[in-house]
């Protein structure tokens, strides 16, 4: 399922191999620079930056790399001028994709993302053609063993969250974009560290995938996009049949 895919992705990201560590550091550096540029260099007053600093710490990114990325964002150090771009597209089986990129070369990024879709039986779409199938919101994923559902609801809803969704994998807290900072602060104040915290595109409708070949091609498209240095996040709305997902 789409929700399960998200939890699986969190687990994969926690097991970063040495061969991919450089790419992870590069992406985190870009995100940290942009977060510091838009919201200031103090993690205490910038929830997005604070979340990214915690991600960097979990990935064992050196503190000096984090500090340098923040200073590039605040203008204390020179650096590349990055732009955030959101691409929309369709993969095989009519699965909708939202791809977030951070790049210093828009032409290169667009060419690479378009080629990835074309190579795997998909295509880029115009702005707005896909995004309506997703909810753009704050999303926190929290493992079940960390807290009870009642206590999490008390903390999250009081901080302005819209919903707490329980599943076999854990809890998902959703909030409006403007409430992300408050909810993040509340969870942190309660001593609760989410397994994932981000501004996400959450599918409001899903596309069932029951064909093994389509599922395999979708997996390859995800992998190709996620390996691109300019791509930061990939969101999609497939719902893989457990019978063909190896579960």
Confidence of residue 179 (pLDDT cuts 50, 70, 90): very high
Distance CA 42, CA 47 (A): 9
Specify if 47 maps to a domain.
yes
Q: Taking 90 as the threshold, does the pLDDT of residue 135 lie above it?
A: yes
| Count of domains for the chain | 3
For residue 149, how many other CB atoms are within 10 A of its CB?
Answer: 12
CA 136 to chain centre: 11
Q: How many CB atoms lie within 10 A of CB 218?
A: 25
Per-residue burial over 52-69, b if 16 or more Cβ lie within 10 Å, else e, is: bbbbbeeeebeeeebebb
In a domain, 54, yes or no: yes
State how far the Cα of 141 lies from the Cα of 200, in Å rounded to an integer. 11
Assess whether 217 and 117 both reside in one domain: yes
Residue 213 falls inside a structural domain: yes
Q: What is the pLDDT of residues 202-240, one digit of tens each?
A: 999 999 999 999 999 999 999 999 889 899 889 999 998
CB 91, CB 120: distance < 8 Å: yes
Dmax (CA) for the chain in angstroms is 53
What digits encode the pLDDT tens for the residues 35-64? 898 889 998 888 888 888 988 988 889 999
Spatial contact of 89 and 133, defined as CB atoms under 8 Å apart: no
Residues 53 and 91 in one domain: no
Domain assignment of residue 88, given as a range: 83-131+206-240
Say if pTM beats, i.e. exceeds, 0.75.
Answer: yes
| Pair 102, 224 in one domain | yes
pLDDT band at 13 (very low <50, low <70, confident <90, very high): very low
Do 10 and 70 fall into the same domain?
Answer: yes
- Stretch (H or E) spanning 219: helix 212-227
Residue with structure tokens 């150090």? Answer: 77
Same domain, 123 and 232: yes
- Same domain? For 43 and 141 the reply is no
CATH number at residue 40: 1.10.10.200
Bridge partner list, 209:
240
**101 with 192, same domain?**
no
Say yes or no: 65 and 105 in one domain.
no
Residue 127 sits in the same domain as residue 105: yes
Give the CATH number for residue 137: 3.30.70.980
Please report the DSSP string for 121-184 in residue order.
Answer: T-EEE-TTTTGGGEEEEEEEEE-GGGS-HHHHHHHHHHTT-SEEEE-SS-EEEEE-GGGHHHHH
Average pLDDT over residues 18-27: 72
Task: Indicate whether 245 belongs to any domain.
Answer: no
What was the pLDDT predicted at 17? 46
């Amino acid at each position: 399922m789409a929700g399960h895919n998200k939890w699986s992705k969190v687990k994969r990201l926690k097991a970063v191999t040495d061969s991919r560590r450089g790419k992870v550091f590069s992406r985190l550096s870009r995100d940290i620079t942009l977060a510091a540029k838009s919201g200031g260099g103090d993690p205490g007053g910038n929830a997005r930056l604070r979340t990214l600093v915690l991600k960097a710490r979990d990935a064992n990114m050196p503190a000096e790399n984090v500090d340098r990325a923040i200073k590039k964002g605040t203008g204390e150090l020179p650096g590349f001028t990055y732009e955030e771009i959101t691409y929309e597209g369709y993969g095989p089986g009519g699965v909708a994709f939202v791809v977030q990129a951070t790049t210093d070369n828009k032409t290169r990024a667009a060419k690479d993302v378009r080629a990835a879709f074309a190579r795997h039986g998909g295509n880029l779409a115009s702005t707005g053609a896909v995004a309506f199938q997703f909810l753009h919101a704050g999303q926190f994923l929290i493992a079940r063993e960390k807290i009870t559902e009642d206590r999490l609801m008390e903390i999250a809803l009081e901080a302005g969250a819209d919903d707490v969704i329980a599943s076999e994998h854990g809890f998902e807290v959703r909030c409006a974009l403007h409430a992300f900072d408050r909810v993040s602060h509340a969870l942190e104040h309660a001593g609760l560290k989410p397994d994932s915290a981000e501004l996400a595109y959450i599918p409001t409708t899903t596309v069932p995938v029951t064909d093994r070949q389509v599922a395999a091609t979708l997996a390859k498209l995800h992998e190709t996009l996620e390996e691109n240095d300019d791509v930061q996040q990939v969101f999609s709305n497939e719902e893989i049949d457990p019978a063909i997902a190896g579960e």
